[in-house]
Amino acid sequence: MPTPLTTLLRDSRALAALAVPLALTQLAQVALTTTDTVMMGLMGAEALAGGGLALVIFNQLRTMGVGMVTAVGNQVSAASAHAEDEQLTEEAAEEVRDVVRAALALATLSGIVGAVVILLIGQAVAFLGQDPDVVDTAWPVLLALAPGLVPCLWFQAIRQFTVGMRRPQALLQITIASVAVNAALNWGLIHGSWILPELGLPGIGLATTLVYALTCVALYVSARRDPQLGPLLDIRMWKTRRATLRRLTGLGLPIAATYGSEAGFFSVVALLIGTFGSAALAAHTAVNQLIYIVFQIAVGLSHAASINVSRELALDRVAAAQRIKNTALACAAAVMAVVGVVYLTVPELVLRPFLDPSSAAEHTATDIATNLLLVAAVLQFFDCAQNIGVGLLRGLDDTRSGFRITLVGYWLIGLPAAWLFGRLAGWDTVGVWLGLLTGLAATAVLLLRRYNRALSLRGGAEQPVVA
């Protein structure tokens, strides 16, 4: 009989097989957006301000659009769970094809609506106190970026299909290649190098749109050539069943709202910290970027755990679904412990890419950021746990509870705590981060409690969980 440690190691290896390529893919996507920002910075402060505004608007709608199709992987995983020797019955295969068609249809509708909203916001920001010159600079970038939302979401839909089928290997290679292609297109379209036209700053937007289109085609071709994926990748969206489209939309809307709420919450926190001065905001930006990079590991674990839960529950293996939660949290805790030790032992080293401690102008910001790392070492445990909790609930097709709980954790607990510790207690930026920690901890506890309760009901009554 295997010992608990043996079982944990076995489950960790199985989870890592899916989580590692997903986490690395997420990190490669961070490199993609970082490349755009670096290229804008090379063009000067005005270009960085206008291009940065355009990216903020686009990324907000892109993130919410990705949320609309995130549950596709869970649906594919559940539909394919009963495959024997990786061979699906014709009925199961048709169910997967139906989900793929609906996913692409939903991606198309979300992309079109999102592109229109991007352009509307691009016009509206002029009335929200933004510098008119910055708005004028951002507008042509938004015009170039907006059409890229549709192929971006097509890519995400096909990505979720490959993940749900537990064959995400091509994702990493394609995403890494896209970083190099994006850098080359950025440079060429900005300066008119090679045979490309000289577009200046809008060239970055066009490069991003072209990269989304190219990666979508590359992933489609890769999946089509795969002997297991190819027969299931049906792109005939006009054959989408309305019931399937409604189901995916019902699952996707709360996820998109959760992503949007989270992004909005952190934006408000940044505004609150900005009231403490530029040094505080610089410190917050630096440490927040570090947390964001490490957070991609949690995203990989969350997606992998979510897919595995869908699969295990489709096979009525409730105990295995509970072990997945424990394994994901244990893996996250191990990684975060190592990262936390690095934060505490060599803070100047991890802050060096963002802040120069030898610079008198950045000395105050570095001191604040060093203190924030003390909070971050603990905060990231709860940040990972709450993201894993959202993924686990998604594995139960319970996306509404995840949305409601994050609203409570972020807005009703986290934000008031940040204001209380930062303003009333007088702890400034560190106080705000303690409020963040409080909100994330509450969110993690509530999400995991909801998951445990849902599994106990599933194990007792063997009925689907209703959000």
Q: What tens digit of pLDDT does each residue of 92-102 get?
A: 889 999 999 99
Residue 85: its pLDDT value, please?
A: 46
Report the predicted TM-score, pTM, of the whole model to 2 decimal places: 0.85
For residues 206 and 329, membership in a common domain is answered with no
Q: Which residue is listed with tokens 């802050």? A: 351
In a domain, 181, yes or no: yes
In a domain, 173, yes or no: yes
In a domain, 12, yes or no: no
User: Across residues 57-79, what is the average pLDDT?
Assistant: 90
For residues 264 and 170, membership in a common domain is answered with no
For residues 293 and 428, membership in a common domain is answered with yes
For residues 152 and 297, membership in a common domain is answered with no
For residues 283 and 143, membership in a common domain is answered with no
Q: Which residue is listed with tokens 């599994």? A: 455
Say whether pLDDT at 128 is over 80.
Answer: no
Say whether pLDDT at 290 is over 80.
Answer: yes
Burial 257-294 (b: 16+ CB within 10 A, else e): bbbbbbeebbebbeebbeebeebbbbbbbbbbebbeeb
CA distance 259 to 463: 28
For residues 226 and 329, membership in a common domain is answered with no
Per-residue DSSP letter, 425 = S
Residue 1: its pLDDT value, please?
A: 59
Residue 31: its pLDDT value, please?
A: 81
Of 210, 240, 270, the residue at which a domain comes to its end is 240
For residues 233 and 257, membership in a common domain is answered with no
Tens digits of per-residue pLDDT, 434-462?
999 999 999 999 999 999 999 888 765 44
For residues 207 and 346, membership in a common domain is answered with no
For residues 263 and 236, membership in a common domain is answered with no
Per the rule left: phi > 0, alpha: psi between -120 and 50, beta: everything else, 85 is left
In a domain, 326, yes or no: yes
Residue 464: its pLDDT value, please?
A: 42
| Distances from the Cα of 137 to the Cα of 49, 145, 183, 192, 336, angstroms | 8, 13, 21, 19, 40
User: Across residues 362-372, what is the average pLDDT?
Assistant: 86
Of 189, 220, 240, the residue at which a domain comes to its end is 240
Query: Do 226 and 235 meet the contact criterion of CB atoms below 8 Å apart?
Result: no
Mean pLDDT for the chain overall: 87
| Distances from the Cα of 211 to the Cα of 29, 33, 53, 152, 364, angstroms | 12, 12, 20, 9, 39
In a domain, 198, yes or no: yes
Q: Can you give the residue range of the structural domain that contains 328?
A: 252-467
Tally the domains of the chain: 2
For residues 126 and 206, membership in a common domain is answered with yes
In a domain, 284, yes or no: yes
For residues 216 and 283, membership in a common domain is answered with no
Higher pLDDT, 245 or 31: 245
Token digits of residue 141: 């970038």
CA distance 212 to 139: 20
Of 205, 240, 275, the residue at which a domain comes to its end is 240
| pLDDT classification of 466: cutoffs 50, 70, 90 | very low
Residue 278: its pLDDT value, please?
A: 76
CA distance 457 to 463: 7
Say whether pLDDT at 84 is over 70.
Answer: no
Number of H helices, E strands in the chain: 16, 0
In a domain, 15, yes or no: no
Query: Do 67 and 255 meet the contact criterion of CB atoms below 8 Å apart?
Result: yes
Tell me if residue 276 falls in helix, strand or coil: coil
For residues 106 and 165, membership in a common domain is answered with yes
Residue 284: its pLDDT value, please?
A: 86
Token digits of residue 291: 């947390």
In a domain, 10, yes or no: no
**Minimum mean pLDDT among 52-66, 152-166, 224-238: which range?**
52-66
User: Across residues 85-108, what is the average pLDDT?
Assistant: 87
Say whether pLDDT at 269 is over 70.
Answer: yes
| pLDDT classification of 421: cutoffs 50, 70, 90 | very high
